[in-house]
Structure 1
Amino acid sequence: MDAVPAALRAEFGRRAFLRACALDVQVRKPGNVSVASPGHGMRAWHFKASAAAAAGPISSAGAPVGERIEVAVRATWQAARCNTNLGIVLLCAPLLAAYERSGGTGGVEALRAAVREVLESLTVHDARAAYRAIALARPGGLGRAPEQDVAEAPTVNLREAMALAADRDRIAFQYLHAYPDVFDLGLPAFLAARDGGAARAMQAAFLEFVAALPDSHIVRKHGDAVAQCVIVEALPWRTRSQRGELLDQDPGFARWDEDLKARGLNPGTSADLSVAVALAAALAQPQQATAGAPPRFY
């Protein structure tokens, strides 16, 4: 199969990123901001503006991963003035670079192989650019690290820097292990639910993550015990989602969403991973994506 021209790959990647971010706020994901439910001092428009600002830089043809991250986060900050999408950008930049590297063809396994190649080729310049982006975004609960702290210029490449945090941060874990949560956990759930529509697929992926993994964002801010409690709360909803039930029709689902927000609990890492899954699904199976239609924010 012939490779897709670079300019077309970049444009498809931009549109796929916008659609994944649109799904992020279209569907109710308990504890996260959505069109149906603001939270944590943010509303859906913050995320819409962030996605629109970041889409061009993060999909820029030929750009190194670190540059994609830094320019996208700077554009986001100018648009929203808050950290809405640092995790999304950190996860999606290597995926879009991998799609470009793979030639835009070959399916899930080709994309996964290209992700591994991209991660293995990361440089110290990528790390320095990503550190500048993280410093600008100022994510909550980050704390200090004994080695290669984000307050200082790194001296190792970006994958090596992420490896130092992989035991406490699930986004860093993806960099070290070549995105196993995206490809082995979230993507199967997304694809299995996609016949019910992209929104339900996104919700299924989110529930898979929040019911299976202690959310890194919750752990950083509230501790592992609280994160484990959220897993227990999520398990029955994941089961119902796997059975194909329409959870948005159950008032209890909305109540759980509001209760998490009232407790200040935001499964933000699970949401970020879900956006990466939606993007990976589009990049790996572009024939299933509506590439010709302009992206919509709902």
Structure 2
Amino acid sequence: MSGLDAALIGTLYRAACLAELDALKPGNVHAYAPGHRMVLADFVTSADVSAPALARAGAGVGMRIRDGVAATMAAVGQNTNLGILLLCAPLAVAAERGLTVATALETLNATDADAVFAAIRLANPGGLGQAEHHDVAHAAPAALHDAMAEAANRDRIARAYVTDFSDVPAIGLAALAEARAGGLDPTWSTTAIHLAFLQAVPDSHVARKHGAAAAERIRREAEALRAGIDLAARPVDALLAFDASLKARAINPGTSADFTVATLFWDALAAAGARLA
């Protein structure tokens, strides 16, 4: 199968990043409210400057992630999109090469591992801590899969690399299809995706910074919130109240937001003709 044009992939990536910012996503930075010492402009700039690296024709997964992070850090001086790039780079490579995501992940090599470890060190994500095996402070393993497998039980993005990104179709695309079937517009469909991830599994970023019990508590809060609202009614007040509560507790469900971008990007690539699954 022939792949998509690199320029189109870059355009779709940037659009997915911006669409995620337009939606009301409790706990994250979005068009309705800033948070966590970051503002919307930081994320818009991050999407702009990382898109060329993410979509660079012929580049491997690791290079796209590393160079996207480097461009972001140079432009905004903080980690705004490591998780997004980790999830979107394999999708971009798969779409460009006409591969499924599973096949694209099978092509990862030692060069990719070195570049991904370099990107993580550069971004220095909050709550990373230390690992007994394949710690990013040390040399990367020959196979990136090994490092991701070791971290899979504590990091949902690492888990994606060893499950062929199963969370994206199972949680994200399923929520998107349901939202569209219910007549939600694109912005509220994006909110539906975010809430689906937030209530389905404990957010990895929350767990790293606040512990597993806190992440599970937030998952249950999101589940209760979702059961009590109708997104078709555009419940801005209820969502902003939850948003304010999370931010008052310094809780940022960033992994759920990263998967929301990946879902939008996957959907856009598929609509353009990529067969990722």
Same fold (TM over 0.5): yes
Q: Secondary structure at the match of 2:100?
A: helix
Q: C-alpha distance in 2, partners of 1:196/1:245?
A: 6
Please, which moves more after superposition, 182-191 or 269-278? 182-191
Of 5, 12, 16 in structure 2, the residue corresponding to residue 16 of structure 1 is 12
- Following the alignment from structure 1 to structure 2, what is the Cα–Cα distance between the partners of residues 251 and 156? 49
Question: Equivalent residue for 1:239?
Answer: 227
- What's 2:89 paired with? 93
- Computed over aligned residues only, the root mean square deviation of the Cα atoms, in angstroms, reads 1.5
Q: Give a deviation string over 1:40-70, Cα, whole Å, max 9, x none.
A: 0100000000000000110111101011011
Alignment-derived partner of residue 130 in structure 1: 116
In the other structure, the counterpart of 2:173 is: 187
**Given that residues 184 and 232 in structure 2 are in contact (C-alpha distance below 8 angstroms), is that contact kept between their aligned partners in structure 1?**
no
**2:88, 2:265 within 8 Å by CA — same for their partners in 1?**
yes
1:200-251 deviation per Cα after TM superposition (whole angstroms, max 9, x unaligned): 121111101000100000001111111111111111333356x54334x441
1:65-214 correspondence runs (5 A): 65-102=61-98, 114-194=100-180, 195-214=183-202
Distance in structure 1 (CA, Å) of the matches to 2:176 and 2:127 = 29
Cα drift, residue 283 of structure 1: 0.5
Q: State TM-score, norm by structure 2.
A: 0.94
What is the number of equivalent residue pairs in this alignment?
Answer: 271
CA-CA distance at 1:191 after TM superposition: 2.4
How far apart, in 1, do the equivalents of 2:264 and 2:247 lie?
24
**Letter of the aligned partner of 2:120 in structure 1?**
I
> Tell me, what secondary structure is at the counterpart of 1:196?
coil
Secondary structure (helix, strand or coil) at the match of 2:151 reads coil
- Tell me which amino acid in the other structure corresponds to 2:38: M
Aligned pair 1:217/2:205, yes or no? Answer: yes
User: In structure 1, how many angstroms separate the alpha carbons of the residues matched to 2:227 and 2:238?
Assistant: 15
Amino acid at match of 2:54: I
Q: TM-score, normalised by structure 1?
A: 0.87
Partner residue, 1:105: none
Distance in 2 of aligned mates of 1:246 and 1:213: 25
Q: Which moved more, 1:250-259 or 1:55-64?
A: 250-259
Q: Does the residue aligned with 1:280 lie in a helix, a strand or coil?
A: helix
Q: Deviations over 1:74-95 (max 9, x none)?
A: 0011111000000000000000
Given the alignment, which residue of 243, 258, 263 partners 1:257?
Answer: 243
- Output one character per residue of 1:230-282: Cα deviation in whole Å (capped at 9) or x when no partner: 111111333356x54334x4412111101100101111000000100000000
Does the CA contact (< 8 Å) of 1:204 and 1:238 recur in 2?
no
Query: Hey, what does 1:59 align to over in structure 2?
Result: 55
**1: CA distance, partners of 2:49 / 2:208:** 27
Q: What percent of counterpart residues are identical?
A: 43
1: CA distance, partners of 2:32 / 2:153: 34
What residue is the counterpart of 1:41 in the other structure? 37
In 2: Cα distance, 1:276 partner to 1:270 partner:
10
1:133 and 1:78 mapped to 2: Cα distance?
13
Partner deviation per Cα, 1:112-148 (whole Å, 9 max, x = no partner): x610011111001101001111100000000011111
The one-letter code of the counterpart of 1:114 is T
Unaligned residue ranges in structure 2 (runs of 5+): none
Whether the 8 Å contact between 2:91 and 2:266 is mirrored in structure 1 is yes
Q: Which residue of structure 2 aligns with residue 279 of structure 1?
A: 265
Contact 1:207 1:237 in 2 (8 A): no
1:107 match: none
Stretch moving more, 222-231 or 256-265: 222-231
